[in-house]
Chain A
Amino acid sequence: MSRSQLVSSGVIALVALAVGFLLAGQIKAQLLTPSNQVARNQALVHSVQDLERTNDSDRRQIAALRAQIDALEAQAASQSDTTRALQSQVADLRAHAGLTPMRGPGVEVELANGSPSADPTGQARYLVNFQDVQDLVNLLFGAGAEGISVSGRRITPVSSFSGSEGEVVIDQGPPLFSPIKVLAVGDRNRMETALQDPALLPSLRVRQLQFDLGLKVTGAPDLALPAYDASLEIPHVGPA
């Protein structure tokens, strides 16, 4: 290749690069809303992301601390019968509180947002909300579930549900979004029968028809639930 060919190739490459960036810049500028609303929202989104990172790191720390405490207790239990008996009691209580992983037969339920069709109520009812998850969890416990997790979050005896449109917050969060996967270990047949009962979960069933909300149930011979990884503090409660 001659010097002039080399130069012309370089010029073409530079021009292509500049055109690419100009094009990207132009379209990007057109995408931005011409108000500072986006900037304000971006600041809020960044705050949420920072808090979610802290939340995630705190959960990992809690799980690690609980594992270390378990190991220290197991070490002590190997040297004393009294400690071993106490440890066994605590292990059973921890299992019922959702503090240890669990496995067994059960059902897997997937809830997914429907189609954003016109909703005369203006309530975005095509979105999965926290009441849907709450109703489903209550139904499963009533139908023989011994342990439940929601999108990887283990449910405890003091769990609660909150959130806004399309956002589900369980206990100390962070928010979960569709699709929501609920795993329940327990009496598989009873749970499957309850989930097929058209009289139960009325809100979900109506919206399933109206907005094509997803409700998929699968039975499984062996499901694994994670341990609870957040706070179980009840500072205002004492023994009577």
Chain B
Amino acid sequence: MSARPNKTAPRQRGRSRSSGGAMAVWLIAILVAFVATVQLRSQAEVERSLQSADPATLAFSIDQLHRSNDALEAQIASLKQQQSMLQAGGGDAVDQQLMSEANQLRMLEGLVPVHGPGIVLTLDASGLTSLDLQDAINNLAAGGGEALALNGHRIILGVDIEQSDIGVSIDGTAVSAPWSFEVIGDPNRLAETADLMTQQLRGDRRVHVAAYSVAQDLVVRAVVTERPFVYAVSS
């Protein structure tokens, strides 16, 4: 009876060592499979993204991001200057800073008349819809427009340009062709944008005349009416 445990004990120890070794092999094999899978999946993902983005799209993104990052860095410089003035000056400096910001925001929100260099784009066309006009406004804004009026109506994003059976209305007022877009902004960028737009628009059967001119100093007197928030609260 006493011999059995003596005989079996080494065998059990041996089995436990052997199962430990097998487990190590399995663990390594699982690790290998995992590494291989990760490697393959990451490669496949890179492949998919490269296939989905063609060089033209990537080039567009690079150009757009360069321009955007320049604008963001200009904003950072302006905010840092603002911050330094606030830190250095007393109450008067703060008041001046706040007045300056208020004036800037009123111009941006279309609440006051503005002037500056820009372009005037005119379209003599029949049958253009509110969507066509919104497209043109967006193209001009994306192409360097900083303040804009259409047929004497100040336009900011949020102004209602609506289509009805009788035509187009801007904030409830009926408007009709010919269309005149007065745009203040970087005149060189705007001229490039207007050039492309007029070329494309001349291919549209509804458009009889599409032309633009660069203005050294354009005055936009139209303003939008301030609308207080009814539903929204600042948080």
Q: How many residues of B contact A (CB 8 A)?
A: 105
In A1-36, the 8 Å CB interface with B consists of 1, 5-6, 9, 12-13, 16-17, 19-21, 23-24, 27-28, 31-32
Known A-B contacts A16-B25, A238-B114; A103 and B235 likewise in contact (beta carbons under 8 Å): yes
Decide if B94 touches A72 in the complex (CB within 8 Å): yes
Decide if A17 touches B32 in the complex (CB within 8 Å): yes
A161 proximity list for chain B (CB < 8 A): 138, 142
**Is chain B's interface secondary structure helix, strand, loop, or mixed overall?**
helix
Closest to A162 in B: B142
Q: Is B195 an interface residue (CB 8 A)?
A: no
In B69-120, the 8 Å CB interface with A consists of 69, 71-76, 78-80, 82-83, 86-87, 91, 94-95, 97-99, 101-110, 112-118
Decide if B83 touches A44 in the complex (CB within 8 Å): no
Q: Is A167 an interface residue (CB 8 A)?
A: yes
Decide if A104 touches B60 in the complex (CB within 8 Å): no
Q: In the bound complex, how far is the Cα of B58 from the Cα of A23, in angstroms?
A: 32
CB-CB contacts of A60-88 with B at 8 A, as 1s and 0s?
01100110110011001101101100110
Known A-B contacts A13-B25, A24-B39; A236 and B113 likewise in contact (beta carbons under 8 Å): no
In A195-240, the 8 Å CB interface with B consists of 202, 224, 230-240
Decide if B68 touches A234 in the complex (CB within 8 Å): no
Q: How many residues of A contact B (CB 8 A)?
A: 107
Q: A96: shortest Cβ distance to chain B, in Å?
A: 6
In B214-229, the 8 Å CB interface with A consists of 219-221, 226-227, 229
Decide if B69 touches A54 in the complex (CB within 8 Å): yes
Q: In the bound complex, how far is the Cα of B105 from the Cα of A86, in angstroms?
A: 13
B208 proximity list for chain A (CB < 8 A): none
A93 proximity list for chain B (CB < 8 A): 101-102, 105-106, 109
Which one of B24, B115, B118, B231 contacts A240 once the chains associate, using CB atoms below 8 Å? B115
Closest to A156 in B: B157
Q: A238: shortest Cβ distance to chain B, in Å?
A: 6
B116 proximity list for chain A (CB < 8 A): 236-238
Decide if B226 touches A96 in the complex (CB within 8 Å): yes
Q: B132: shortest Cβ distance to chain A, in Å?
A: 11
In A85-129, the 8 Å CB interface with B consists of 86-87, 89-91, 93-97, 100-106
Decide if B226 touches A234 in the complex (CB within 8 Å): no
B50 proximity list for chain A (CB < 8 A): 38, 41-42, 45
B232 proximity list for chain A (CB < 8 A): 102-104, 146-147, 185-186
CB-CB contacts of B31-43 with A at 8 A, as 1s and 0s?
0110110011001
Q: Is B202 an interface residue (CB 8 A)?
A: no
Q: Is B127 an interface residue (CB 8 A)?
A: no
Q: Is A155 an interface residue (CB 8 A)?
A: yes
B124 proximity list for chain A (CB < 8 A): none
Q: B223: shortest Cβ distance to chain A, in Å?
A: 10
Q: In the bound complex, how far is the Cα of B75 from the Cα of A52, in angstroms?
A: 17
Q: Is A172 an interface residue (CB 8 A)?
A: yes
Which one of B36, B95, B141, B235 contacts A82 once the chains associate, using CB atoms below 8 Å? B95
Q: B45: shortest Cβ distance to chain A, in Å?
A: 11
B161 proximity list for chain A (CB < 8 A): 138, 142
B1-9, B15-23, B174-182: which lies at the A interface? B15-23
Q: In the bound complex, how far is the Cα of B117 from the Cα of A157, in angstroms?
A: 20
Q: B47: shortest Cβ distance to chain A, in Å?
A: 6
Q: Is B135 an interface residue (CB 8 A)?
A: yes
Q: B56: shortest Cβ distance to chain A, in Å?
A: 7
Known A-B contacts A13-B25, A158-B141; A240 and B86 likewise in contact (beta carbons under 8 Å): no
Top 8 nearest A-B pairs (CB, nearest first) are: A20-B32, A172-B68, A231-B75, A51-B65, A160-B141, A157-B156, A58-B72, A1-B17
Chain B residues with CB under 8 Å of chain A are 14, 17-18, 20-22, 24-25, 28-29, 32-33, 35-36, 39-40, 43-44, 46-47, 49-50, 53, 55-62, 64-69, 71-76, 78-80, 82-83, 86-87, 91, 94-95, 97-99, 101-110, 112-118, 131, 134-135, 138, 141-142, 145-147, 156-162, 184-187, 219-221, 226-227, 229-235
